[in-house]
Structure 1
Amino acid sequence: MGKHLVVGLMAHVDAGKTTLAEGMLYQAGTIRQLGRVDKQSTFLDPNVIEKQRGITIFDHQAELTVGDTQITLLDTPGHVDFTPAVERVLNVIDLAVLVVSAVEGIQSHTRTLWALLQAKKIPTMIFVNKLDQIGAHPDQVVTEFQTEFGSQCLPFNQPSDLKAWSADTPELIAMQGDEQLLDQYLANGQVDQKAIRKLVASQKVVPIYFGAALNQVGISELLAGIIKWGPSLASTPNFGARIFKISHEPNGTRLTWFRVIGGDLKVKTTLNNEKIDQIRHYNGQQYEVKRVAKRGEIVTIAGPQKTFPGQVIGTESQVDQVSLRPVLNYAVTTNHDHDFQILQNACEQLADEEPLLHLNVNQALNQITLQLMGTVQVEVIKALMKNRFGLTVTLKPAGIVYRETINKVVEGVGHFEPLRHYAEVHLLLEPGQPGSGLQIVSQCREEVLPHQWQSQILTALQAKEHRGVLIGAPLTDVKITLVGGKGNLKHTSGGDFREATWRAVRQGLMMLKQVGQAQILEPWYQFSLVIPVSQVGRALNDIQQMGGSLKLPVNLPSGEVPVRLTGEAPVIKLQDYPIIVRQYTHGQGQLTVKFGGFRPAEDQITLVEKEAYDPVSDLPNTPDSVFCTHGAGYPVKWNQVPQTMHCDYYYPQVMANFGPN
């Protein structure tokens, strides 16, 4: 067998992506009969919810062989609500095929996908589909791509007769390279295939292919292009893997899906201290049991229970982050007399598969909330609850998602010393860059804390989602540095440092709250607004009233010509605006949004009063410490810990502004 390529298919919903996948599998001989989305008979999209809705909701794997090339095809969801799953798939593919309808052209989600592909530097090809439909305009679509995405988007076959690329394409390809490549072309009128492959691998050339997947037109040319220009995975000697999905079988078996990026993995060995019971290689719904997973393969393993989507194995403390995140909270309730624990267990399984759901369970009030991207994901969650768990649930909007951060440096202290236990941890909390999340490092010398104890502290910092002390929202954009602490060779155990670490984070946050340096962050949307030119003034006034900003084109056309505007605004102000746009444009306007990061909340005092969150009463996240005297442990309030702790501050100059120790 020659090279092995992992190819991801992605598109705006209804561009014909799954139909293209079906055609590729048929032409390669993987399937003997073509299925259709409208007849619910495709090889991919096997889930009953996908069949009912006619869209891809989960990513699916298929295998095809063309000549001596093995291609693993990953068909990804097409709706914007499931973009985080698509983004994780980008971390395991060699090449992306972006499918665009020749009728609709570039759509909102096309732009989102293109931005992700560019950010992650994924080699990309474009398949312009549906040439056989009324209203198809492939030339205009090419112009759109070159205008919006750049001159590197070049036709590699003709939509009329599907011959080789157009006569001027070699020259245009040469112009995307360096002077040496252009000189070679001018000398002999050709471009070396190896040079083209490098240009594709570096995104300097994006080949465009044309066809009609439903009628099998253009698919063979696309397959030939994938084989000819697709890059191979770089060789890595040590074992490594990127996890992109977690799923559960009806019998409860938990499956971890990943790509092996280095070395081999054998069954019955361990992965991060968890035994691998089985290795599977899937093709659609069928799978082959394997003894060894080799470099470059997409495999599924059964056994490990602590893996998670985005995790990178073999690279210390690395996680593949996603840029698009949910910003809407939904309360989950059931209309039946189900035990609350049954509902919680179901939600926990879904949150295991998609950590961005950010499951929050309040046992005292029997309340469960999830964070979702939009209304389509809401409907899918309800269908999953019914089909998988037999639960009829209601999801009601429960406000937007907030985050908390800090505006000043502080040294937090946690002490845990009940009888026969001992640990003290000192952490430096510093404001991070917007969008940086939580950064966790150590600057502690091993003569102060041995390596084993430091590892326990760093593991504890990563083991939970830390919450702020203003409204209990997740903490973000903070750098946490281990600077010191103390243990006892006789009495200290791993759990002691976990308790002291979590308390140190909260104690530091409480110190900052006391001096007004804790901050609530609210989510913002980046948006694209398509409206008639006559309504631009109305839109500009609306966005300014929201506290947002709107970017206007340099030259506005006249009349009722539609114009696309871009901007950003707070989610809480923009979330109902699509309805208003449709009203004042009489159905002609369209607003599309994506997550644009978190910024300081406009009215923090009102938010704090509304939530009425008491950080001291949140016992699982207590800021208080435990000390010991005369053989008995006793609690110490967070503001008394500095006077009681056993180690002095490691950064006294930082703490000088917080009053006397």
Structure 2
Amino acid sequence: MKHIVTGIIANVDAGKTTLSEALLYQTGNLRNLGRVDNGNTFLDTDQLEKKRGITIFSHQANLEYNDLSLTILDTPGHVDFVTQTEQVLSVLDYAILVISATDGITSHTRSLWNLLKHYHVPVFLFVNKIDINTNMASQILSQLKSELDESIIDFSSDNMLEDIAMCDESLFEDYLQTSTISDEKILSLISDRVIFPCYFGSALKLDGIDEFLQGFNHWTQEPHYPDNFQAKIFKISHNDKGERLTWLRILGGSLKPREEILPEQKISQIRVYNGEKFSTYPTVNAGQVCTIPGLVNTYPGLSIGENQIDTIPTITPVLSYALDLNGNDIQTCLKALHELEDEDPKLHVTWSEHLKEISVQIMGEIQLEILEQILLDRYNLNVTFTKGNILYKETITNSIEGVGHFEPLRHYSEVHLLLESGKRGSGLQFENQCSLEVLDKNWQHQIISNLKAKEHLGVLTGSPLTDVKITLLGGKASNVHTVGGDFRQACSRAVRQGLMMLKENNDCQLLEPWYRFRLKVDRTQIGRAINDIQRMHGTLDEQQVDGVLTGIAPVSEMYDYATNVRSYTHGNGTLELEIVGYYPCHNSIDIISHQKYDPVSDLENTPQSVFCAHGAGYTVDWKDVPATMHCEYFWNGMN
């Protein structure tokens, strides 16, 4: 039997969970068809999900249809929980993207499409609620082609083969001669994301479900797996018994209880969930999704096995909120939040000893409301959060060789790093160009590991550094005095010293998050809307649709603008917002001045180096390190 893992993905209210319910019911895996508005769907098992009527956490269901064994991972639809959706994408064979015929393509739909492209996930589309707009199928298909991809094909159309052939020039020539395309070729085109099958129906009324199941069964193929054990972790959760559950997909080999897949951690039990219930398995094989209780130090994106690379998420929160204890014990709150951070690392829970304050990072107001409710329901903590601050980042606009030296008595290390500006959205990248004649391989490995393990901060406001490539050029160790921790110190100082040199030349840049917006108002209110966008330092797209304004604007200016839109349009206007990334800060001078960050006083991230003379260590200012360092510059771009 063919085993496929798929994720059902959609904008909120598109009918994603309803489609999951319909697939399970139509294949005989459910006796009764549940409804989201009745709070009795098979997959929304959490009480908070039933109360809210939205999916908050990813859930698993399993079904069989003809020769297809299908694992469904239902994902959250609301934009505030997109980090939960992204966790799932790295373990999918195919995705099912649900489009609402009534809402069409939203900004969140476009973001999901881009995420699927980033993870190279083949996509089937299901246009839902077509019963409400029975004559709109061709119009919606045209919109899908123009706004998502021209190679989205109606697989229920009589012209399906011709439309497929039009997506590839060489294929079209063959089709003209033979008037056919082999199933093997179509399967390959789908799995390679050259074409995207599209189906239409109504999940609530079970219209089009049989056709979709037949198509999905026929046009999917099981991947080939290696013999050696490999796995990808995509979710961490805690059940009502307090068990910590690690969710993973087996990508090679097999897994049995009592085996050790992580250092000194043996598998006590293997579970396969179906909704809120599970069965224990003596063995799980490549392709299957399973859950293991009791593991520690696992996290979403962790890869297990040879030549496997951890998945680095692309979505990051842009707002920071401080916890208002409301009389609760601070340590109890911190413990609860760290457990929730274990499930969603993007919460990034931090404790400021100086401010005596706990803060979290959040995608939006709905996520914040859910977080407060979870803390109350699960931990009996009635807390609130104060209004959020914008999460800034920093980058560089030029290249520099930074030097860090750490030589207190009986310690020694020196590191030379090349800092270069990276592509927007690339995060931090690390490379090693150090010769073995300069530094031993083990020291090089320690340096790269230390660079990757630390959150590097900029020197303008102390915000996280991003879009920078850091390359190890060289350094020096002592056969007698160097120990592992020395290079950790030297690495950090080298990065900071380089940043301070760039700052002196005005080559450091403050970044802020920006929204892509879609604002729909009455024609008579367009002038007011344009003035608002300009006042918020937004930029309008060159081409605009009548009554609809699109463009980008800073989150700091626009994140509470929806209230104004509802007011001046009397509830008739709509504003869609989606984080588009980090761009240069529109008021960086004001922000830097307000933050009053002193990089030299940040002792945990100091740019200063430590040298030794006459049996004692002494501190050297970052400006004077180039004249004091023991190695010459390695980079020929230096003066």
Q: Structure 2 length as normaliser, TM-score? A: 0.91
Q: CA deviation at 1:63?
A: 1.4
Matched, 1:596 2:580: yes
Q: CA deviation at 1:295?
A: 2.0
Q: Is the 8 A contact 2:2 2:221 kept in 1?
A: no
Instruction: Give the secondary-structure state (helix, strand or coil) at the position aligned to 2:91.
Output: coil
Q: Relative to 1, partners in 2 of residues 1:644 and 1:251: Cα closer, same or farther, differing over 3 Å?
A: farther
Q: How does 1:61-460 map onto structure 2 within 5 Å? A: 61-133=60-132, 137-156=136-155, 165-181=156-172, 183-184=174-175, 187-188=178-179, 190-236=180-226, 238-250=228-240, 252-271=242-261, 273=263, 275-278=265-268, 279-290=270-281, 292-302=283-293, 304-314=295-305, 318-338=309-329, 340-460=330-450
Q: CA deviation at 1:473?
A: 0.3
Q: Relative to 1, partners in 2 of residues 1:359 and 1:172: Cα closer, same or farther, differing over 3 Å?
A: same
* 1:622 equivalent in structure 2: 606
Q: CA deviation at 1:17?
A: 1.5
Separation of aligned partners in 2, 1:465 and 1:583 = 42
Instruction: Give the secondary-structure state (helix, strand or coil) at the position aligned to 2:381.
Output: coil
* 1:560 equivalent in structure 2: none
Separation of aligned partners in 2, 1:83 and 1:328 = 15
Separation of aligned partners in 2, 1:316 and 1:622 = 35
Separation of aligned partners in 2, 1:184 and 1:650 = 58
Q: Is the 8 A contact 1:552 1:566 kept in 2?
A: no
Amino acid in the other structure paired with 2:340: L
The one of 491, 508, 515 aligned to 1:501: 491
Q: How does 1:1-12 map onto structure 2 within 5 Å? A: 2-12=1-11
Q: Is the 8 A contact 1:103 1:136 kept in 2?
A: no
Instruction: Give the secondary-structure state (helix, strand or coil) at the position aligned to 1:15.
Output: coil
Unaligned runs of 5+ in 1: 157-164, 558-562, 657-661
Q: CA deviation at 1:252?
A: 4.8
Instruction: Give the secondary-structure state (helix, strand or coil) at the position aligned to 1:6.
Output: strand
Amino acid in the other structure paired with 1:610: H
* 2:41 equivalent in structure 1: 42
Question: Which segment is superposed worse, 376-385 or 227-236?
Answer: 227-236
Q: Is the 8 A contact 2:408 2:611 kept in 1?
A: yes
Q: Is the 8 A contact 1:127 1:211 kept in 2?
A: yes
Q: CA deviation at 1:136?
A: 8.2
Separation of aligned partners in 2, 1:276 and 1:501 = 35
Separation of aligned partners in 2, 1:426 and 1:273 = 33
Q: Relative to 1, partners in 2 of residues 1:277 and 1:419: Cα closer, same or farther, differing over 3 Å?
A: farther
Q: Relative to 1, partners in 2 of residues 1:512 and 1:360: Cα closer, same or farther, differing over 3 Å?
A: farther
Separation of aligned partners in 1, 2:326 and 2:293 = 34
Question: Which segment is superposed worse, 361-370 or 132-141?
Answer: 132-141
Question: Once the two structures are superposed, what CA deviation does each residue of 1:638-659 show, in whole Å capped at 9, x if it has no partner?
Answer: 34444443333333752x3xxx
The one of 507, 512, 531 aligned to 2:502: 512
Q: Is the 8 A contact 1:276 1:303 kept in 2?
A: no
Amino acid in the other structure paired with 1:612: K
Separation of aligned partners in 1, 2:159 and 2:471 = 57
Q: CA deviation at 1:139?
A: 4.8
Q: Relative to 1, partners in 2 of residues 1:194 and 1:181: Cα closer, same or farther, differing over 3 Å?
A: farther
Q: Relative to 1, partners in 2 of residues 1:108 and 1:432: Cα closer, same or farther, differing over 3 Å?
A: closer
Between the aligned residues of both structures, percent identity stands at 48
Q: Is the 8 A contact 1:95 1:231 kept in 2?
A: no
Q: Is the 8 A contact 2:96 2:125 kept in 1?
A: yes
Instruction: Give the secondary-structure state (helix, strand or coil) at the position aligned to 1:38.
Output: helix
Instruction: Give the secondary-structure state (helix, strand or coil) at the position aligned to 2:286.
Output: coil
Q: Relative to 1, partners in 2 of residues 1:475 and 1:179: Cα closer, same or farther, differing over 3 Å?
A: closer
Instruction: Give the secondary-structure state (helix, strand or coil) at the position aligned to 2:98.
Output: strand
Amino acid in the other structure paired with 2:551: G
RMSD: 2.8
Q: CA deviation at 1:71?
A: 0.7
Separation of aligned partners in 2, 1:425 and 1:253 = 44
* 2:14 equivalent in structure 1: 15
Q: CA deviation at 1:315?
A: 6.8
Q: Is the 8 A contact 1:101 1:129 kept in 2?
A: yes
Instruction: Give the secondary-structure state (helix, strand or coil) at the position aligned to 2:251.
Output: strand
Q: CA deviation at 1:426?
A: 2.0
Instruction: Give the secondary-structure state (helix, strand or coil) at the position aligned to 1:215.
Output: coil
Amino acid in the other structure paired with 1:22: E
Instruction: Give the secondary-structure state (helix, strand or coil) at the position aligned to 1:608.
Output: helix
Instruction: Give the secondary-structure state (helix, strand or coil) at the position aligned to 1:527.
Output: strand
Question: Once the two structures are superposed, what CA deviation does each residue of 1:42-61 show, in whole Å capped at 9, x if it has no partner?
Answer: 22111221111111011111
Question: Which segment is superposed worse, 540-549 or 58-67?
Answer: 540-549
Question: Once the two structures are superposed, what CA deviation does each residue of 1:129-186 show, in whole Å capped at 9, x if it has no partner?
Answer: 3345588854543343344334533433xxxxxxxx3433343334334454564466
User: How many residues are matched?
Assistant: 638
The one of 522, 526, 538 aligned to 1:532: 522
